[in-house]
Structure 1
């Protein structure tokens, strides 16, 4: 892993010199340098010890999770690129590339160019990602989907804020029982669907439903556990972070298939740097028009939901009452976020009609 770290340092310096990207060669950032087998990670006495404060270790966990679950994803699509789990490592790569895994307090060099593989325990973004990685991975090991059933897995605790981060299955089950249950259910669903005789369409629906239930619970848990870390960021970054969390309510309700192609489509216009005081979308000069538009629409959706006392999200969930409706919902989200000419009033009128049709 030390050799990989040296290669990654040179590689990352090159990435920083290029335009904002969330993939390289069509895969998450530094995917080819991540381990693909659980046995490749440091272990002693049948216990694998993972350092989740190292980017390559985190990406290795995602790569192992993808490779371990591919055999259960036949109903989702015909290739390995169709797994909905791809959205998670792509998110991690975007967070690295945009500087969101760096120590936001500036007290250390963690995540900066001199220490690029370091993930700061002080970062709100890394804290949220911890809830989207460690718990599902440990649940997958527990359910026998990941690993050979003999190796145990334990995470290293950070030097600071250790109380926020669980490190083992027993620890995570005790501190976040509802979250662990959701992810255990996802892996149970994968195994059950692989043995079921129902149609691939029905299998796909159940797998995606269980997957997004796990994601939503991870974000709900993280919103509480990681809240104090928000204080280190600018008010525009805090606003974006909250809007980003809230956008998941809409995406999850559509049972969005977060495969490689779909995830790249929706993540490419995310802001390529941490926002600072004075940034005001859609007029941030050093961000692209696509980034500005996405930031503006995320904020509009959150503001509109607040003005309607939470009823916009409730309307959206009610409108996603069938697979056909969810397909329409996915198209509507794509228009809203990616098409600057798509009027917000059109979104509301279409949504109102969808609710009536359910």
Structure 2
């Protein structure tokens, strides 16, 4: 029964690829990428300490650019193109949050993030901005600690008075969110170690993507600290936000290679504006409304089944080969509406032996 439910979800998900309306690219790169810092010294430095302001969109996007540039020489088996880093998915995601209005002040108390105010401002009251903080500031602090930003570079994130619940330094974040920081440390250390690894490229790639998604999911779990900020949104937006988080469980299980090109496919159909309870979603495109339906349906079924849907999916994605096939399947479901369902069914129903590679 579990497999039938999973199959139904994935078959429905295959109809997402009808086009896109979300604005996530500018000249083939994330929004405002050309205006971000290309080197560490482009960010503010006070008393020898790097002090980026993660509540400024360009500064936060710069964190991604600097980490991508710094880790590119180590990505090896992940690909030779400059767009092959899995961190591109997070950069594109931040751009989508900006253009869809999700980084603006949801309380209406300020003009932060609004066209009538400071468009580069990320509101400290934005749930989306808070969630993204955990997958932007934390990996940057970890990467700097591991030496990717240069020798002995110290970093302290600027913090507004109303965001003091969030960590700002490597030591502070490690104390508050030890699991997330240790997982990001493992990812950056793994990049260096993989350069000398004798494993075949496909296994090294799977290993690195495993470290990356483990770190990203640990950050997402840590971002429960942002939950109170959901009170500023409509029930429709909160439902979408929670369903969106739930979908990450499926993507992480296959160790999706979130390169720039592949991430565009999955981010384009996301809703291009903040949702309100009324007037419904009549102004959204067919792709956007379908994506909302899919996310909601999958989460609802998983809740109804007591979490067995995601557990069955994780169980199927149990080896290097299975995850590789899982990634290919997800891409085909998005790109190719005629993808044979029998292939999906056979993949989902496969089981792992004790000797499977993890």
Normalising by structure 2, report the TM-score.
0.88
Determine if contact 1:315/1:351 at 8 Å carries over to the other structure. Answer: no
Q: Does 1:210 align with 2:211?
A: yes
- State whether residues 22 and 270 of structure 2, in contact with CA within 8 Å, keep that contact through their aligned partners in structure 1: no
Contact 1:100 1:274 survives alignment (8 Å):
yes
Q: Which residue of 2 aligns with 1:276?
A: 276
Corresponding position of 1:174: 175
2:37 corresponds to: 35
Aligned to 2:296: 299
Instruction: State the 1:110 CA deviation.
Output: 0.4
Q: Give runs of aligned pairs for residues 1-358 of structure 1, distance below 5 A.
A: 20-113=22-115, 114-145=117-148, 147-163=149-165, 165-222=166-223, 224-278=224-278, 284-334=281-331, 349=345, 352-355=348-351
Are the aligned partners of 2:265 and 2:334 in contact in 1 as well (CA < 8 Å)? Answer: no
Return the offset for 1:88.
0.8
Q: SS of the counterpart of 2:118?
A: coil
Pair 215,318 (structure 1): closer, same or farther in 2 beyond 3 Å: same
Secondary structure of the corresponding residue to residue 154 of structure 1 = coil
CA 1:76–1:297: 2 relative to 1, 3 Å = same
Helix, strand or coil at the partner of 1:75: helix
For the structure 1 residues 339 and 245, does the alpha-carbon distance in structure 2 shift closer, same or farther, using more than 3 Å as the test? farther
Q: Deviations over 1:295-344 (max 9, x none)?
A: 1101111011011100000000000022332233234444666778999x
What TM-score results when the alignment is normalised by the length of structure 1?
0.88
Which residue does the alignment assign to 1:8? none
Which structure carries more relative contact order (alpha carbon 8 Å, separation 6+)? Answer: 2
Q: Report if aligned partners of 2:322, 2:347 keep a CA contact under 8 Å in 1.
A: no
Q: Is the 1:34–1:56 Cα contact (8 Å) retained in structure 2?
A: yes
